[in-house]
Amino acid sequence: MPTLFTRIINGEIPGRFVWKDDDVVAFLSIGPLSDGHTLVVPRQEIDKWTDAPAELMRKLTSVAQAIGQAQVAAFGSERAGLSIAGFEVDHLHLHVWPANSLADFDFSRAESNPDPERMEANAEKLRDALRSAGHGAFVPEQ
């Protein structure tokens, strides 16, 4: 049975994508820690990050870094947070979000019902920042 993320990647469940390439996608989290919180996900179903091939991990972290840089630019945060937890969905994913302090790393503070219009605006803001940074080839229109 496909994972939740595979269903999002395949378009069976909607997602606010900000990055798509042959190996990796990125879309906004439905439980954001801050505006622009993004999940970087391999297209390949891998449960644990420790089971991922090294080349795929390099690609995931490279995409996460590009997204983190765009988040800092787009949302004016001091830095970008990065976490690999893997307990929410059995499909490897990296959390990347704008952060200004260690308090911003507290997953118990994740928003449970974010405003859809604000989420759309955040996705477009992040897409624009990624395009401005030279990543337009990987940024979907929506």
How many whole angstroms separate alpha carbon 80 and alpha carbon 96?
Answer: 7
pLDDT at 86: 83
CB of 120 within 8 A of CB of 74?
no
pLDDT at 87: 86
pLDDT at 39: 98
User: What percentage of residues in the chain have a pLDDT greater than 70?
Assistant: 100
Length of the chain equals 142
pLDDT at 1: 84
CB of 17 within 8 A of CB of 93?
no
pLDDT at 85: 87
Summary mean pLDDT of the chain: 96
Instruction: Please give the structure tokens belonging to residue 85.
Output: 């937890």
H or E element that contains 127: helix 116-130
Residue type, 135: H
Q: Is the pTM of this model over 0.85?
A: yes
Tell me which residues of the chain have a pLDDT lower than 70.
none
The residues annotated with a catalytic role in the active site are 93
